[in-house]
Amino acid sequence: MNSAERSSVFSIAGIYGLRMLGLFLILPVFALYAEGLEGVTPTLIGLALGIYGFTMAMLQIPFGWLSDRIGRKPVIAAGLLIFAVGSVVAAMADSIWMVIIGRALQGSGAIAAAMMALLADLTREEVRTKAMAVVGMTIGMSFTVALIAGPMLSTWVGVDGIFWFTALFALLSIAVLYLLVPDPDHLSMHRDVEAVPGEFGRILKDGQLLRLDFGIMILHGIIMSLFIALPFVLRDHLDIPAVDHPWVYLPVLLVAIAFMVPLIIVAEKKEKMKQVFLLSISMIALSCLLLGLWHDSMVPVMAALLLFFIAYNVLEATLPSLISRMAPIDAKGTAMGVYSTSQFFGAFIGGAVGGWCYGQFDVQGVFFGAGSLALLWLIVAYGMKMPVMRSSVMAHVDSDVDALALEMDILKLAGVFEAKVVPEENAIFLRVDKKLYNADALAALLKPEMTGQAVEG
C-alpha cells in the first residue's frame, strides 16, 4: 500500500474498531447490570443484548446503497451519529425497555456496507484484500480487548459509563472520518465488496453459500446467548467477583489465539479445510455441553471456554474466506452482504432466545440450547462441499469490448478456471490457480487500449 492508502485503511480500521469496541464492551457485564433495571426479565436481558443485530441486519445493505447515491461520508457520519444517540439513550436508561430502545438505535447506525465501499473507493484492487484484512484484525482485537476491559470499566464507571464512552467513541469516529480519511475521487460500484440488487436471487439459490450463512448465524447466536449466562456462572457458581472476570477471560483468549494459528495453517496450507471446519463446530458443541454439565467447577469451565474460543476464532477467520471462494466471482460483495446480514440476525436471535432459555431453565438451559444449535450446524455443514483453493483476480477492461468473446479467450489461458467480464464496470473477474496462472498472458491477450494489470483479491 502507498502512504495515502495506508492512511485511509488505518483510519477506517480505527473507526471500525472504536464502533465495535463500544458494542462489545457491555457483553461480559450487561447481564449482571440489568438485574437492577426496572421491568427486567431474563428474556428482556437477552433482547437488550441482541436487538442491535436486528436493526443492523435490516439496514446495513440499504445504507450501503444510499452511500452510492449521496456519498459515503454523509451516510457514515449519520450512522455514527445515530449510534451515539442510541448510546446516550442506553446510558440514561433506568428501565430495561429504554436500554432496548437505545441498543436498537445503536444498530440502526448500520454503516458496515458504506464503510467497505469507502475502503474500496480509496484502495487499489491489488491491495484491497490486505486492507480488508487490517479491518478484520481490528474487529477481532476489539472483541478481545472488550472482554478484558468491559468488567474493569464497569467497576470504575458503571455500565452506564460504558455507554457514555461508546457515545464518545462514535463522535471521535466522526472526527477521524472527516479529518483523517481522504475524500474519494469518485464513487464506484465494487462488486467484490458491495451488494448488487440484481444478484440476490443467484446468491440465495446457492445451497453451499446458504450453509455458510446458516453457520455464521448460529455462531453469533451462540456467543450472544453464552454471554447471558457466563457472567452469572462466574459470579454465582464460581464465586468470582465481576471485577475479576477479566482474569478468567485473558489467559483463555491468549491460549486460544496461540492454538488458532496452527489450525488455520493446517486448513489452508495442507488443504484440510473441511476437517478443521467440522472439528471447530464439534468443539463449540462440546464446550457448550461441558458448561451445561459442570458449570459449578472451575476446571471444566476454563476447559470449555478454551475449546470455545479456539473454535470461535478459527471459524471467524475461515467462514469469510469460504464465502469469498464459493461466491460467484462477480458477486462476492452480494454474497458477503447476505453473510453479514445473517451474522447480525444471529446475534438478535441468540440474545432473544438465550434470554428466554435462561428464564425458563437457568444457565444450563442456555448452554444445552447452544450445544443443540451447534450439533444442528454440524449436521448441516457435514454435507458441504469445500471449494478448491483458488484465488480471485481482477483486471481492467474497456467498456466497448465483446464480453462473451473475451471471456472465452481468457478461459483458454493456463490456470484460469472462471472468467466474467463486466464492461459497464470496466472490470474482469477471474478465479485462478496461482501455480499455473500468468498475469502477463492476460495482459498480452487484452487489446492495447485496455489496461491489463491483473490484481489478486
The yes-or-no verdict on residue 206 having pLDDT over 70 is yes
The yes-or-no verdict on residue 451 having pLDDT over 70 is no
By C-alpha distance, which of 131, 149, 99 is closest to 16?
Answer: 131
Listed by start position, the domains of the chain span 1-188, 199-389, 391-456
Distance CA 256, CA 49 (A): 25
- The residue that leads in pLDDT, 263 or 271, is 263
pLDDT digits 0-9 by tens, 129-149: 788 888 888 888 899 899 999
pLDDT digits 0-9 by tens, 294-330: 999 999 999 999 999 999 999 998 998 888 888 888 8
Same fold, 1-188 and 199-389: yes
DSSP line for 11-49? HHHHHHHHHHHHHHTTTTTHHHHHTTSBT--HHHHHHHH
> Which CATH architecture is the domain 391-456 placed in?
2-Layer Sandwich (3.30)
Supply φ then ψ for residue 95, to 5 degrees. -130, 155
pTM assigned to the model? 0.90
CB 46 within 8 A of CB 353: yes
Residue 447, pLDDT score:
63
**Domain spanning 1-188: CATH 3.40.1080.10:** no
Residue 384, pLDDT score:
87
Residues forming a β-bridge with 379? none
CB 23 within 8 A of CB 106: yes
Instruction: Calculate helix-pair angle for 42-70, 112-121, nearest 10 degrees.
Output: 30
Cell of 138: 481490528
pLDDT class of 380 with cuts at 50, 70, 90: very high
201-205, 337-341, 410-414, 450-454: least confidently modelled range: 450-454
Most confident range (mean pLDDT) of 33-37, 132-136, 436-440 is 33-37
Residue 287 CB neighbour total at 10 angstroms: 28
Q: What is the DSSP letter of 384?
A: P
**Domain spanning 199-389: CATH 3.40.80.10:** no
User: What Cα–Cα distance (Å) separates residue 230 from each residue in 238, 242, 283?
Assistant: 10, 11, 18
Chain position carrying cell 451515539: 84
